């Protein structure tokens, strides 16, 4: 008997408009099955769990692997780690927020996220000088990228001066982005400029479940940024 059948909890990985052709989900948290459930214009990708383990490399990677298996969907709203609801509340919650979920799907339809991390290497300069250099480099990178939808992500920690800029774009625009930012990267002295992706659009979707459960609020974007840096 599943956790849901016992009145347990539903863990949400993502919302999509339709599943990719031939989709085969990987195992979810703790090896639990991942299922898809359609409600109106929304498909909820979820699993029945007894609880959510602390956010660590293994659990974050498991969450991301399920979300990444949906990257070929037309529209994908990834949820941040820890999105949990009582099993009995899943359907009522989705129905109550159906319009917001559909709007979020439309905002990222046909697009993925690319990130560029700027990290100082081999520098003994004062921290404020490094921060100024990274800020100027990020501004130059955004200007060269020439994409309307971008976002500077929060620092992973106070001790890490890295700057990460995320871009929302169509998959066919990735090559052009890399070409445009290459001159900025080549002129960066003492800074490693590292593009990663494609990613689900974690940085461009609302935190839909933060008001529904305190568990969801315990997984900051920094957790996914740390996973990105590790891959």
Residue 73 and residue 122: Cα distance in Å, rounded? 41
**Residue ranges with strand state E in the chain:** 9-16, 35-39, 42-49, 76-78, 84-86, 112-120, 150-153, 163-169, 191-199
Same domain, yes or no, for 90 and 175?
no
Span 168-186, mean pLDDT? Answer: 92
pLDDT classification of 191: cutoffs 50, 70, 90: confident
The domain that holds 169 is classified in CATH as 3.30.70.920
Same domain, yes or no, for 52 and 75?
yes
Q: Quick one: pLDDT at residue 125? A: 67
Same domain, yes or no, for 140 and 209?
no
Q: Report whether pLDDT(158) > 70.
A: no
Closest CA to 77 of 229, 203, 184: 203
Q: Quick one: pLDDT at residue 157? A: 57
Same domain, yes or no, for 83 and 125?
no
Structural domain of residue 141, as residue ranges?
Answer: 112-199
pLDDT classification of 55: cutoffs 50, 70, 90: confident
Alpha-carbon torsion 19, 20, 22, 25, what sign?
Answer: negative
Q: Quick one: pLDDT at residue 123? A: 63
Same domain, yes or no, for 86 and 156?
no
Same domain, yes or no, for 52 and 102?
yes
231 assigned to some structural domain: no
pLDDT in tens, 115-152: 999 888 776 666 677 778 888 888 889 999 999 999 99
Span 80-106, mean pLDDT? Answer: 92
Span 204-212, mean pLDDT? Answer: 72
Same domain, yes or no, for 23 and 105?
yes
152 assigned to some structural domain: yes
Same domain, yes or no, for 83 and 123?
no
Same domain, yes or no, for 69 and 133?
no
* Domains: count for the chain: 2
3 assigned to some structural domain: no
Higher pLDDT: 127 or 220? It is 127
């Amino acid at each position: 008997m599943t956790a849901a059948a016992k009145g347990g909890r539903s863990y949400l990985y993502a919302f999509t408009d339709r599943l990719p052709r031939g989709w085969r989900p990987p195992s979810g948290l703790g090896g639990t099955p991942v299922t898809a459930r359609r409600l109106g214009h929304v498909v909820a990708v979820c699993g029945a769990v007894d609880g959510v383990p602390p956010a660590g490399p293994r659990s974050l990677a498991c969450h991301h692997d399920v979300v990444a298996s949906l990257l070929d969907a037309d529209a994908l709203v990834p949820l941040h780690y820890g999105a949990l609801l009582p099993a009995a509340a899943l359907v009522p919650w989705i129905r109550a927020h159906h319009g917001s979920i559909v709007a979020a799907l439309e905002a990222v339809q046909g697009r993925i996220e690319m990130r560029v991390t700027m990290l100082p290497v081999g520098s003994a300069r004062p921290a404020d000088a490094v921060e100024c250099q990274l800020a100027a480099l990020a501004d130059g990178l955004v200007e060269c990228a020439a994409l309307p939808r971008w976002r500077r992500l929060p620092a992973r920690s106070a001790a890490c001066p890295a700057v990460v800029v995320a871009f929302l774009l169509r998959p066919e625009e990735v090559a052009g982005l890399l070409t445009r930012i290459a001159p900025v990267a080549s002129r960066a002295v003492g800074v490693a400029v590292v593009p990663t992706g494609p990613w689900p659009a974690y940085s461009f979707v609302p935190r839909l479940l933060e008001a529904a459960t305190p568990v969801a609020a315990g997984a900051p974007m920094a957790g996914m940024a740390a996973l990105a840096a590790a891959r």
